[in-house]
Chains A and B, each alone.
Chain A
């Protein structure tokens, strides 16, 4: 409903314009001043950024996007903060946990000189915003709002159970990243109630950096521990090395479930239950619209996830494992099957 109003306004302006300048005067049509949005990205233009941009196009909201990519370099983010302030943009969009925490500040570290505080901001693809970025999902308590993109742990566990009942869930994780450990903790809690066990192995550190080469050995260890499923947590290191991880799992014959879409879409994870980045981007843009067009304070806009869960099944992997999905899940799922030439 709310989204229709700007559309009508635009239509009205267009009609009025046509009435005043009946012919050949289209160049004189006054364009409403576009909203200026500073988009700070972590690893280039991807689906969430596209969804964010497309929303404004589809809703006919004029925006001027100032796009900056940190290229996974944390040091650039200080300059981004300064630039956004200098340009006096209307809104800042931050992508990912690192960008959002560095530019908007954590609850405990936020400072007006180092972070963006005056300009309203929306964040997306932040794994664990609660407690670090926001006080409460109902209200950030700050001049920011945003979206979450992780499916609740219990939903994920149920999803795996609905594929095949399991007793042991294996996880390989990077000890330097917090996200995976939070996920492991939550899964253990759910498992205690639902009756499954979580078995985790951290990758080896070499010179204080996680070593991708150690991943296959960890997966083999999990195989020995007789895990039924391998869970791929939302973890940047694992995301980058997803081919090694999922390849090792497939070699060991362990089915994999991914909390993010990349391991399923572009690698060899068997299936995943995710909110698509594109949808998350659109939802984030909707919240930006609330702030820019409807002048609602960011603190009054709840932080939530898209309503629709996407179940993605990687059919070549399924066939290789011979572990076929139940009919009901298959009916709901988006099937990735490049060999058959049908993506859906």
Chain B
């Protein structure tokens, strides 16, 4: 996965967008947060006072019945729900007339006793004082007109800070998404309107420099670039016209001139001209269209964006749809649409690749959008699990068609450069879409609900279709049809190195992705108190972000150090270890770290997984073509995508949701260990020579 040629441009545009977008957003956010903080403090005081008064009146009622203040019962159960419902309240306490703590919940009494013993709470009404990190509000307890003690409500001073932090993170995430979206759009505009035409011009110019006037640029935009290209084409046509006139004049001389020596000279000149310059035979210069991998980047980005929008809440949505009457366990019901989605992608992709090679990417892209859009839209209207599974399968078929169309377009457009660079465009678009789609989808789901989010996804996919329809011309680069036989693929599996790579590296990494990340993560995170949909989405963004950050590094390492099998093994081990992290640390709040580690794992191992293929399947690559071997790896690893959700679902009834993460982690780590051990043997034993001899 070497970086594509648009990367410097991408970075420059990112910088530009950053400069334009971030300072004003930062300034606005700063101002808004300040305002918010100023408003929050009195609100918190008011709330603490209300809570204090409510508690005091309940306690006063009890005292009124003759229960002595120090004999109040069940104070822990009495305080606990109040503390749970008000995150800013850190402790609740009752003190007697001598400010001794009788009951306390949420903080150590030793911490407060020194403060209470020297504070005078006497005097009517509630009193606010600062105690260490807490703001303490004392509410007097009255019995028969006498103060008998106080209810103490402790507010966390850091609460305002942590709330502000949360909001700042929100703003940061949204800014990042807008930044990436604007860069994608800028990149598209720049490459489509400027770079593409300029390249076409430079190609034509190149030919002109070699004396070939038989080509013009096929750009028909109405801007400065278009006018320039138009003028440039005009110049070529003018030269072509001049040549025609010259040709006609020379023909006239050749046929009609009386002096044979003149005719001979003219024919010499004509031969010389024809030798030095080339003109279109028909008089109609051929049109050159520069196809670039980046042309398809924005539509692809939008489409993947649409799909990724449901990433963070898909299992939660399915759980809401679930009714026990379906005859399925809840876990299996949740796994079903996710796994079926993966299955259809796996099943349709190979034929989708062949269809797009034959019918042209543009048409296949548009055809694929139809089921995908219907699938998105109807998923939003689904009212049971089977319904949803049906519509998700439709989306999956569309997804396979669209992504394959994009891959084949990119492969053909990038032929002149390297395929790896083209792949970089594809992966780049998918990953940025994944970051933005996950983040924005979660926020949308929180604001407008799951169903409306699906409808928006359908709308986005329509926009992607319009872009393709309006902007990409019908003329497509032709592809060489490739159709290797199935038996050859099976022979691949007899190569133990390839088999080990598929079974113990590629498949477990997909199991972790679909079983853990797609399925268990949203369910687990929702169990964590205080997490809403937006938070879940933000945590899930960690995955594509760490893939984005690490992939280039891993690719460079793999290229420079040639340490490919090692990187794959290390990546797998890190991913498995990440899943087991919650059990090692005994805390499920580290799930964010697990997700990031999964991203690290896939970022490290994905490109070496592909890069290692020419090394370990040397003969097969020569016989079948490297592209086909890679395609087979992609197909085989999808077995993992399909079984991942089912495996996770099978673990839930046995170990619970949190336990399922651990169990899945154990499976992934176990397989990764096997690969790591096998990878030591990759360099030894009968290798290329022996296999060649077979």
Residues of A at the B interface (CB closer than 8 Å) are: 315, 318-319, 322, 324-331, 335, 337, 340, 342
Contact = CB atoms under 8 A, between A and B. Distances in A.
B78 A340 contact: no
A325 B78 CA distance: 12
Interface residues of B, number: 15
26 contacts: A315-B66, A318-B65, A319-B66, A319-B67, A324-B62, A324-B71, A324-B73, A325-B73, A325-B74, A326-B74, A326-B77, A326-B78, A327-B58, A327-B59, A327-B62, A327-B72, A327-B73, A327-B75, A327-B78, A328-B74, A329-B74, A330-B58, A331-B78, A335-B65, A337-B65, A340-B65
A322 to B, nearest CB: 8
B61 interface: yes
Nearest to B61: A330
A330 B62 contact: yes
Interface string B48-67: 00000000001101101111
A328 B66 contact: no
B151 to A, nearest CB: 12
Contacts of B64: 340, 342
Interface of B: 58-59, 61-62, 64-67, 71-75, 77-78
A269 to B, nearest CB: 17
Contacts of A319: 65-67
A327 B66 contact: no
A327 B74 contact: yes
B65 A315 contact: yes
B58 A331 contact: yes
A330 B65 CA distance: 10
Nearest to B73: A326
A328 B58 CA distance: 9
Contacts of B65: 315, 318-319, 330, 335, 337, 340
Contacts of B67: 318-319, 324
Closest 3 CB pairs of A and B: A326-B74, A327-B78, A326-B73
A315 B66 CA distance: 8
A342 B66 CA distance: 12
A342 B64 CA distance: 10
Contacts of A318: 65, 67
Given A319-B65, A327-B73, A327-B74, 19 more contacts: A315-B65, A315-B66, A319-B66, A322-B71, A324-B62, A324-B67, A324-B71, A325-B73, A326-B73, A327-B59, A327-B72, A328-B74, A329-B74, A330-B58, A330-B62, A330-B65, A331-B78, A337-B65, A340-B64
A328 B71 contact: no
Nearest to B71: A324
A344 to B, nearest CB: 10
Nearest to B65: A315
Contacts of A325: 73-74
A342 B58 CA distance: 15
Contacts of A330: 58, 61-62, 65
Contacts of A342: 64
Nearest to A329: B74
A324 B58 CA distance: 14
Contacts of A328: 74, 77-78
A322 B72 CA distance: 11
A328 B64 CA distance: 16
Contacts of A331: 58, 78
